[in-house]
Amino acid sequence: MPTRSATIRPARDWSGRALAIISLVVAMTGLAYNTWRNESTEAHRNIRQSCFIILEESAALQQLVQIRYYGSDRSTSTWVSAWGKAALIRDLGNLAPPRTGQEAQQVFDVWAKRAHEIDERNPLAQEDIEDAIERLRRQTLDDLRELD
């Protein structure tokens, strides 16, 4: 006859296993949520950073457009600087939300098409470039507001 201590009690055995399984499910759920939240936070951080730089560079590009259009500085340095800013805006658009990326590409395309007309003081070229920059600025701000 088996002793009393050797008797298997199925109800007690399953309750211990159920507690272990529940603990494991809670731990895995917590780990999954924490991982998701970290990834989401990092993605938003990257978007914010790229959007802030886009805003800064688009403001600098607009200043260069105005300097070349209204001012007398038509030096090679302002020309090269403006091209650099337009290219950086386009490249950073790839890190931003799609709508901002499209507007960033549009700024670059308009700049590439109309930049040479700025020195000729073509008002339509200046308006086209500044309108593209303004649309980019508004879209970038809208995308920043949508981040949670």
Per-domain boundaries in the chain? 50-146
98-105 mean pLDDT: 97
Determine whether 15 is exposed, middle or buried from the number of CB atoms within 10 Å of its CB (0-12, 13-18, 19+): exposed
Is the model's pLDDT at 87 over the cut of 90? yes
Q: With beta carbons less than 8 A apart as the criterion, state whether 101 and 91 touch.
A: no
Q: With beta carbons less than 8 A apart as the criterion, state whether 118 and 69 touch.
A: yes
Q: Distance (Å, rounded) from C-alpha 83 to C-alpha 85?
A: 5
If one compares 18 and 49, the residue with the highest pLDDT of the two is 49
69-74 mean pLDDT: 87
Q: What pLDDT shows up at residue 1?
A: 53
Give percent of the chain with pLDDT exceeding 70: 89
Q: With beta carbons less than 8 A apart as the criterion, state whether 86 and 111 touch.
A: yes
Is the model's pLDDT at 10 over the cut of 70? no
Q: What pLDDT shows up at residue 5?
A: 57
What is the chain's mean pLDDT, rounded?
Answer: 89
pLDDT in tens, 43-61: 889 999 999 999 999 999 9
Q: What pLDDT shows up at residue 7?
A: 60
If one compares 111 and 4, the residue with the highest pLDDT of the two is 111
Sign of the CA dihedral running 60, 65, 71, 76:
positive
